[in-house]
Amino acid sequence: MEPEEPTPEGEPGERRLNIHLAPELIGGVYANFANITFSQYEFTLTFARIEHEVEQGDVPGAVVARVNASPRFVEELIAALQDSWSKYQTQEGIRNLPEAPGHPGAS
């Protein structure tokens, strides 16, 4: 999932992603639960939206997306998630410093 090194314009072998996003998918889906299963050949990631307010009995929910992926892709996805999580933590850590603009402890 890491982007390839850019090549000079017009150089043979240059690849750029050209991914179409259907208008009805632009809003995405919300998930607050995930289940992961795997076999020797693939991983299946099932994302759902569940009701956390239920205190007893069955917890209602609905699957909002299911993705089947190869082990190689899952390995790349994990690396990309770790990189993004690290950047997010750094950004939030800076934002929450006492001297950060807008922080209650800032002068």
pLDDT (tens digit per residue) in 12-49? 778 899 999 999 999 999 999 999 999 999 999 999 99
- Residue 98: band (very low, low, confident or very high) from pLDDT cuts 50, 70, 90: confident
Q: What is the pLDDT of residue 96?
A: 80
Q: What is the pLDDT of residue 10?
A: 55
Q: How far apart (Å, rounded) are the C-alpha atoms in residues 44 and 74? A: 10
Give the number of other Cβ atoms within 10 Å of residue 33's Cβ.
14
> Mean pLDDT across the chain, nearest whole number?
86
pLDDT of 51 strictly over 70: yes
